[in-house]
Structure 1
Amino acid sequence: MDVLDRFENNRLPDVVALDFLVAVKLGDVSRAERILATAGGAALVNLGQPLQASEKYPPQYLFARFMLATYRSEPPRQFLLDEAAQLLARTGPRQHLLLGAIYNALLEPHIRQGRLAEAEDCALRALHHYDAAEAPYLSFFVHVHRAMMGLTTGNPREATECLSAAERSLEKTAFETVQEERFLALLRAGAAYETGEPQAMVDFVETEFSQFAFGELWPSIAALALAHGADALLQLRGQKAAMQFVDRWRLQLWRSRRFQLLIEQRDVAVRQGAQRWRDARTRLEGIATRIGRLWMDTAGDNLADLQDFEDIVQALLWLRQQALEAPRDAALPARLVALEANPRLALRQRICLQLWSVWVDRRQGRIAQARQRLARTLGVCATHQCNAPILEERSFLLPLLEDPQIMRGEMERVAIPRNLRSGAVAAFGAGPLSRQEWRALLLLVEGCSNKEIAREMVVSLPTVKFHLKNLFRKLAVSDRKSAVAAARNSSLI
């Protein structure tokens, strides 16, 4: 900011672009829009329409327009990608810094739309130009982006290699890089989390995360930090800590509508992971997207064609909810298969789908198929060192591992990840309670009456009373309030 103040009356394109980037990094997207519109006209910040005669604008303004698209709520549009291609074509081959910046900016939209091969190509081209310009500091951010791609796709080994390259770039940087060191620490904690070790992420969230200026977290890395931070806290600290972390993100009102949607989706995921299934469904039904219950019931093969990251996450949340609430639904296996066929799914998302499919297979009596699928899925996790989905889905997995019909044959030779039975949140269906008694207990915790429990479990009132009677007997209590207290004291919930 001190440097910019000295150029207060200088509106050269380089100064405007720098002023724009500072505003974006501080999280003030509205101010960044005003800077760009004042310098180049309102058409530059209208991301709903292509620019007319884009060649008349300075390259720095076009680059800023493309960066604005990254931080705004509109989905990446093809004409913006076309404008970026035109800008590349008019940029001289020796303008390495600008060429590297354009390819770097293209990373976010490609990642967001699941075009990871295109994103990797842009990353390698950006690195080529930054190396030619001898700009190791800028190369650092490309390596970080590649590491983030490895984490979101469930390849922590690849992510760790990219983080080592990012560290080498920082070592070549001549000035202080405190915030960049925090980026490295965040992503290293993310890599540890993906291998099934959440402690490093919890430590980072509790000690370092508040030092970030939220505007400095690019959208894709912010989404990663939100998901990993909330899930790690849920596993080791419990629902309250995880929800407090999610609520901290809610306060960042400058975030786009897209990111606000990701926050709402993470809220649902935390409630599901904490066994607050009824509460989670209420929240899920309240999210304003086209992917609702009715859409899911009639989606069929359309699940394989979903393209937007947010739509895929929403469909995954619905399938997770349905696997728990209606595992014997005859149409559920077809939905799981259809979404798994979606080419935009990341490896870790496929692992979650596979675990829910195992659960559904077991509930529908396909025991051999469930056993084979589970052994294959755990093998994939071991090969890729991708154990985080196993911990996140322990509600489904632990009861399967306690099922003698599942733990035969090929499952006798499968290594079970450690940390699976530890943590702040107990697994649904594990321990002394039957599956129905567990559901009744969880609904008691959510404050449901007997009628509400009957409606949620799709059983009669006498059946509810039967399950509650058995639940009270196993917990050695005589009433609802004491049952909840006893379950907490014995770490069942």
Structure 2
Amino acid sequence: MKTPVFRGKLIEQILSRPEPVIVLDAPAGMGKSTLLGQIAERLDVTLHIAHTPPAEGDGIVLWDIPPYGTPAALPECYVTGRRRIVIAKRPDSELIGLARATAYQRVYSLDPEALLISENEARALFGADRAMEILRLTGGWPLIAFREGLIAGMEEFLMQEFLENVPNDELVDLKLLIAGAALPARQRNNLFPVASAGSDGTLHFRAEALAGVLDSALDAMIRLRLETPGNVKSIAEAYAHRGKVVEAISVFQRAGFHDDAFEQFNKAGGLFFLYFHGPAAFDQVLSGFPHSYAHQSEILVLSLGLQAVKRGDVSRARRLLLDRFGEQINDLEAVYDSRSAFSREFREFSFVLMIFEDHQFNEEMLARLFKLNAEFPGDEHLFRGSLYNSVLEFYIRRRQFTEAEDVAQRAMYHYEAAGSPMLCFYISLHQAMIGLLQGDNATARKHALRSAKSLAEVPFETPNDMRLQKLVDACIEYESGRAEPLARFLNSEIDEFTHGEIWPSLMEVTLHYGSQAMITHFSLVAARGFLDRWRVYQASNQAFQEMVNIREAVVLQHANRWTEASTRLKVVGLEIDRDRILADPDGLASLTDRDDIGLTLAWLRQILHEQPDLPQLERAIVALTGNLRVTDRQRLSLSIWQALIFKRRQDLTGARAVLLRLFEHSARLDSIAPLAEENVFLDELMGNKRISEFLAASSPARQVIRKLRDSGHMAPVSGIGSELSRRENKILVMISEGAANKSIAGMLGVSEATVKFHLGNVYRKLGCKTRQEAIGAARAAGIVN
């Protein structure tokens, strides 16, 4: 060790003090003994090193008190001030008599900061180039500043010389400082010189070079302390006091104090722990409870169920409940009876689980749920908000958007009162999805901005929620004509996305936008592959399977694969079919179920392509348009179909009026995707010069038309498709699906000779000689996929 003989100014300061007792009270490695040695050399006196006090002398006496022992009392001659003494000691060495001398104002205690190497000293010792770096790494602690290469072997030293007598709460502080936490300083702390209080009142880590070895020493010391049961609680409480709940619970769990760990878990949110501490913390804490212990606790079983739901494994969540509570949980009458033996917390979670299972509810069940909400006190914001959140999903499924918006606002009130930005994020995201389902892209964007703001306020990493936000943002961009963000999401994020928590309403949005983007910007194969992925994900959910089948039929229609689409529609396991629609078109006004309405729309699109002149078709479209459960987005499709019927009846005035209202409405809502999804029929309408020129006179309509064409959703004004008649186009689509002339004649209600006549016109207009050449030309032009 290089002796710092340069400390002459500090020696002068010490020797010039008028107090008879000078105390150098500082931790190990601060250079106290070296400094006393320099003073002894300067004064030519003997340095006394012992636990016993030095003999009384005529001049100044130097006493260096060694560690690991109890020093004798300070002699009376120094207490009374008859003799002078300089004492070097550690803070944990209690010297009897020193307090009395202090009370008599005969003691000067040197500020330990004065023993740190100053900038000027560092420059003199290490040179200007290295001085600042050494001070940054060591905080000026002489022990490590002067001993290059010593740090790696200091773990044992730090444990014995520095950490041995550090209180449990300060050991915890050091651990957190090394982890990068900025901690409020305690009134008492022995962390100097490793850490010190800054001007802002918080503790800051000083000796950066020690971080790794000190962290290892702290781990070893804490493990050693935890072998004594009395230390477990104080260490855990120190973590909890600093807001480190996960660490506090883990301390209890490692020591086998599971009741204390569970108590801390409940204090930190219990069932709602996830929303305040994040998924990683939630997983870590739950994994620390033994299975046998967790199985006995209702709260822990429900928490494990929530964990399974968040991972997208709803069936596991159901199995956890069955294992803990038995088969009676499947008896909804018993669970939600007014005299139910099940706790209100269980009943709420059971409802949440049924929402994820896309369970069908009736109004009576909904009334029971609102009664359940009344069982929670008004200030139980988390439980009340969560019930409203779950009912929100129910209303979205039922297309009761006014009621959905009401419960969304109620849930938001409770979540804001509970101070949970993560739960507020979910509500805003639901509201954004309602906007998308309604075709109101402007409102969806407004709520998506709010959800992004809430997500930014979440104090922990939550990757799946970030993907939810990214998906909704991409869908909003897709609505306004920008497909690239959604295509990028589907390419890079979808694998991780399918393994997380996905609510039924989000599944619906994902299926709709994902399959539409795939068929429009990639291929039919890509779109069907996308849907098949979701079939596997929800293999046991029959309602979800029907939703996927309906979407596949719509995708096939979009690709002009009408025969396959009809086949797919026929296997959907719902009561709605072509015959029922045509037998009672007016009855469509009373449909209430989401999937019944979705299937009806798909069948109407199919009928419009195959038999557009059926008199029941317009009645069905009008009836469904008046259905209060049909979304505004779906009404946009119905309006296009109505306009097409007008056009085919040569009622161009009616067609133009419908389309003008439709296009101006789309411009106002910044939403063109619903129009793009009807491109098969919209191309025919816009191919009429009198219609397209009429719409082009309106600035908002012109803006929508430009967006549709720029984004590839609408065919250009010219092209081979525009050269073919409607019947020729239809025959071209049929032969591309493999239909023979006889089959085509039967479907169109004409003779085979007529079919051959139309085929001849198709070949001539496309410049082809064979059926295969015509199909190839049609695919190259995008008429069929």
Provide the rounded CA distance (Å) in 1 between the counterparts of 2:558 and 2:594. Answer: 21
Aligned counterpart, 1:257: 542
Provide the rounded CA distance (Å) in 1 between the counterparts of 2:679 and 2:401. Answer: 29
User: How many Å apart are 1:349 and its aligned residue?
Assistant: 0.4
Structure 1 residues 490 and 223: CA distance shift in structure 2, 3 A = closer
| Equivalent residue in structure 2 for 1:417, among 705, 713, 716 | 705
Provide the rounded CA distance (Å) in 2 between the counterparts of 1:61 and 1:380. Answer: 46
Aligned counterpart, 2:633: 348
Provide the rounded CA distance (Å) in 2 between the counterparts of 1:458 and 1:73. Answer: 43
Matched, 1:447 2:738: yes
More deviation, 383-392/348-357: 383-392
More deviation, 90-99/427-436: 427-436
More deviation, 9-18/384-393: 9-18
Aligned counterpart, 2:253: none
User: How many Å apart are 1:47 and its aligned residue?
Assistant: 4.0
User: How many Å apart are 1:86 and its aligned residue?
Assistant: 2.0
**Per-residue CA distance 1:402-443 (angstroms, 9 max, x = gap):** 212324556632314334345389699942211111111111
User: How many Å apart are 1:480 and its aligned residue?
Assistant: 0.9
Aligned counterpart, 1:298: 583
Asked if the contact 1:238–1:424 (Cα under 8 Å) also holds between the matched residues in 2, the reply is no
The unaligned stretches of length 5 or more in structure 1 are: none
Provide the rounded CA distance (Å) in 2 between the counterparts of 1:74 and 1:130. Answer: 25
Provide the rounded CA distance (Å) in 2 between the counterparts of 1:381 and 1:194. Answer: 10
Alignment of 1:390-469 (within 5 A): 390-407=675-692, 409=694, 412-413=697-698, 414-415=701-702, 416-421=704-709, 423=712, 430-469=721-760
Aligned counterpart, 1:136: 421
More deviation, 299-308/251-260: 251-260
**Per-residue CA distance 1:440-476 (angstroms, 9 max, x = gap):** 1111111111111112222110000001111111222
Alignment of 1:101-250 (within 5 A): 101-250=386-535
How many pairs were matched up?
A: 493
Provide the rounded CA distance (Å) in 1 between the counterparts of 2:411 and 2:662. Answer: 36
Aligned counterpart, 1:328: 613
Q: Which has the higher contact order (CA 8 A, sep 6+)?
A: 1
Provide the rounded CA distance (Å) in 2 between the counterparts of 1:309 and 1:193. Answer: 23
Asked if the contact 2:426–2:451 (Cα under 8 Å) also holds between the matched residues in 1, the reply is yes
The unaligned stretches of length 5 or more in structure 2 are: 1-282
User: How many Å apart are 1:55 and its aligned residue?
Assistant: 4.6
Provide the rounded CA distance (Å) in 2 between the counterparts of 1:447 and 1:285. Answer: 19
Structure 1 residues 329 and 38: CA distance shift in structure 2, 3 A = same
Asked if the contact 2:479–2:673 (Cα under 8 Å) also holds between the matched residues in 1, the reply is yes
Asked if the contact 1:50–1:80 (Cα under 8 Å) also holds between the matched residues in 2, the reply is no
Asked if the contact 2:676–2:713 (Cα under 8 Å) also holds between the matched residues in 1, the reply is no
User: How many Å apart are 1:238 and its aligned residue?
Assistant: 2.5
Asked if the contact 2:687–2:722 (Cα under 8 Å) also holds between the matched residues in 1, the reply is no
Structure 1 residues 255 and 199: CA distance shift in structure 2, 3 A = farther
**Per-residue CA distance 1:139-180 (angstroms, 9 max, x = gap):** 111111111111111111111111111122122211112221
User: How many Å apart are 1:286 and its aligned residue?
Assistant: 2.1
**Per-residue CA distance 1:265-290 (angstroms, 9 max, x = gap):** 00000000011112111211222211
Asked if the contact 2:464–2:497 (Cα under 8 Å) also holds between the matched residues in 1, the reply is yes
Aligned counterpart, 1:314: 599
**Per-residue CA distance 1:163-211 (angstroms, 9 max, x = gap):** 1111221222111122211111100011111223222211211111112
User: How many Å apart are 1:490 and its aligned residue?
Assistant: 4.1
User: How many Å apart are 1:295 and its aligned residue?
Assistant: 0.4
**Per-residue CA distance 1:65-106 (angstroms, 9 max, x = gap):** 101221225312334322321221110111111111111111
TM-score by length of 1: 0.95
Structure 1 residues 51 and 491: CA distance shift in structure 2, 3 A = closer
User: How many Å apart are 1:130 and its aligned residue?
Assistant: 1.2
RMSD of equivalent CA atoms? 2.1
Provide the rounded CA distance (Å) in 1 between the counterparts of 2:367 and 2:782. Answer: 56
Provide the rounded CA distance (Å) in 1 between the counterparts of 2:629 and 2:607. Answer: 22
Matched, 1:485 2:776: yes
**Match of 1:417, as an amino acid?**
I
Alignment of 1:63-102 (within 5 A): 63-102=348-387
Aligned counterpart, 2:96: none
Provide the rounded CA distance (Å) in 1 between the counterparts of 2:518 and 2:322. Answer: 42
| Equivalent residue in structure 1 for 2:568, among 283, 287, 298 | 283
Provide the rounded CA distance (Å) in 1 between the counterparts of 2:323 and 2:677. Answer: 48
SS in 1 for 2:615: coil
Asked if the contact 2:672–2:708 (Cα under 8 Å) also holds between the matched residues in 1, the reply is no
Structure 1 residues 491 and 395: CA distance shift in structure 2, 3 A = closer
**Match of 1:192, as an amino acid?**
E
**Match of 1:329, as an amino acid?**
L
Structure 1 residues 402 and 213: CA distance shift in structure 2, 3 A = closer
Q: Which has the larger radius of gyration?
A: 2
User: How many Å apart are 1:3 and its aligned residue?
Assistant: 2.1
Matched, 1:470 2:761: yes
Structure 1 residues 408 and 426: CA distance shift in structure 2, 3 A = closer
Provide the rounded CA distance (Å) in 2 between the counterparts of 1:200 and 1:180. Answer: 17
TM-score by length of 2: 0.60
